Amino acid sequence: MSRYREMTRWRRNDLPRAAILRSGQSASGRASGCLVLLAAAVCGGSAMAEPMGLGREATPEEVAAWDIDVRPDGQGLPEGEGDVMTGEMIYTERCSSCHGIFGEGEGRWPILMGGSGTLDQERPVKTVGSYWPYASTVWDYIHRAMPFGDAQSLSPDEVYAVAAYVLYLNDVVDDDFVANADTYAAIELPNADGFIPDDREATELALFSGEPCMTDCKEHVEITMHAAVLDVTPDGAGMDLEGAAIAPGPAETAPEGEASAMEPAGTDDMEVAAAEPALVEQGKALFPRCRACHEVGEDAGNRVGPHLNGVLGREAASVEGFDYSPAMREMAADGLTWNADKLADFLIDPRSVVPGTRMVFPGLTPEDAKAMAAYLGALPEEG
């Protein structure tokens, strides 16, 4: 393959991508598109409005580290300044080994200048000067990706200077040009009008244009699976975030022998917990297996299954607002109440106690079921 062909290949792969990302509405539109999807998935139903217990807020420093894009109108350009002459020195030192002293390209590295008037030829030479639509992209690209292999090692001042030099190599600015956020706004690249949005119905432009929907974007959300059931969500740590009020998992269980730390706060009924702290702790450690469907603790609500606060001693199918199966309601009408033994039997094999129950659960071992009953019995009634 000829050196020339290789170079055109680079540019074909690289530049359009950079240009598309920089072309404003697609970059921001893309982002809000994601938000819409997320919002629909995460916030669709009221039962899903609480935090999911995943991740954490990004710190301002983390956001700043990602937020480095510069838009076509210059939005995002930092403070700073650099002139063509300073840029030439930086360029010679940091860039010329690959791109050549005058941007002509060393070996098979990309050339950075020339090519004007070649776009309609069989082998167009696409450069900043001949092809790129926005000067802001030159800043963004160099800042983001160059020098190749040592990306983001240049200070804003250095990027202003070296980008000014690249623009100078392309006859876009004069040798006395001083680049900063203000002077950038005035630069127009020769091929600025050479791009048209592909607004055919079948393309994605329509999808990412216009006002993104941020609330109530979907009338009806059907939850078909829970991440925890799919086994993609880590159990334990991080689940007891504000509002979720879910019992802490094994990661946060109290150190051994510290029964008091483990007893749920705000209840007088500590007998079970006091009686068998080890068993309670064992049950607590197993609760992640229920958590995909059941909540306990303060503010616990109904999810796939009813909340389990105070379930020991509770009549079956008695949580208000939960849509029990006919089977469970029938058992309740027959007088089923959850005492420790009944509960343990149910957890070992739900269908043997309530044939036709909607609780789809493979069952616990008898020992684990006993521990779980002890744990649930130790929970305060109101969470």
Inter-CA distances, 286 with 7, 236, 248, 283, 347, Å: 60, 10, 11, 5, 12
**Tokens 């819409």 belong to which residue?**
36
Decide: is 148 part of the binding site for ligand HEC (CB under 6 A): yes
Residue 218 in tokens: 């979907």
Residue 241: count other Cβ atoms within 10 Å of its Cβ: 15
Under the binding rule (CB under 6 A), the answer on residue 325 touching ligand HEC is yes
Least Å distance, CB 194 to ligand HEC, is: 14
Q: How far is residue 338's CA from residue 309's CA, in Å, rounded to a whole number?
A: 12
Residue list 165-204, contact with ligand HEC (CB under 6 A): 166
| Contact between 70 and ligand HEC per CB under 6 A | no
Of the candidate spans 53-61, 78-86, 194-202, 305-313, the one that interacts with ligand HEC by CB under 6 A turns out to be 305-313
Q: What's the min distance (Å) between Cβ of 141 and ligand HEC?
A: 5
Residue 97 interacting with ligand HEC (CB under 6 A): yes
Q: Can you spell out the DSSP letters for 49-103?
A: -S--S-S-PPPHHHHHHH-----TT-TTPPS--EEHHHHHHHHHHHTHHHH-TTS
Which of 343, 353, 371, 379 contacts ligand HEC by CB under 6 A?
343
- Specify the amino acid at residue 178: V
What does the block give as tokens for 243?
A: 């509002």
Q: Helix, strand, or coil here: 253?
A: coil
Find the binder of ligand HEC among 273, 328, 371, 374 (CB under 6 A): 328
Looking at the Cβ atoms of 262 and 343, the one nearer to ligand HEC is 343
Q: Which tokens is 187 given?
A: 């630069």
| Sole binder of ligand HEC in the list 84, 135, 162, 378 (CB under 6 A) | 162
CA-based nearest residue to 138, from 165, 99, 178, 104: 165
Where is 25: in which H helix or E strand? helix 25-43
**Which residue stretch of 7-15, 38-46, 211-219, 236-244 sits at the interface with ligand HEC (rule: CB under 6 A)?**
7-15
Binding ligand HEC by CB under 6 A: which of 115, 238, 306, 377? Answer: 306
What is the closest distance, in whole angstroms, from the C-beta atom of residue 362 to ligand HEC in the complex?
9
- Pick between residue 39 and residue 308 the one whose CB is nearest to ligand HEC: 308
Of 123, 103, 121, the closest CA to residue 113 belongs to: 103
Q: Does 8 bind ligand HEC (CB under 6 A)?
A: no
Of 162 and 239, which CB lies nearer to ligand HEC in the complex structure?
A: 162
Contact criterion met (CB below 8 Å) for 205 and 197? yes
Closest distance to ligand HEC from the beta carbon of 75 (Å): 20
Query: Interface residues for ligand HEC in 126-145 (CB under 6 A)?
Result: 127-128, 138, 141-142
Q: Kind and range of the H or E element at 378?
A: helix 366-378
Q: How far is the CB of 83 from ligand HEC (least distance, A)?
A: 15
Minimum CB–partner distance for residue 105 and ligand HEC (Å): 9
3-state helix, strand, coil in the chain (%, to 5): 45, 0, 55
- List contacts with ligand HEC (CB under 6 A): 10-11, 14-15, 94-95, 97-99, 109-110, 112, 127-128, 138, 141-142, 146-149, 162, 166, 229, 289-290, 292-294, 304-306, 308, 311, 316-319, 324-325, 327-328, 338, 343, 347, 354, 357-361, 364, 372
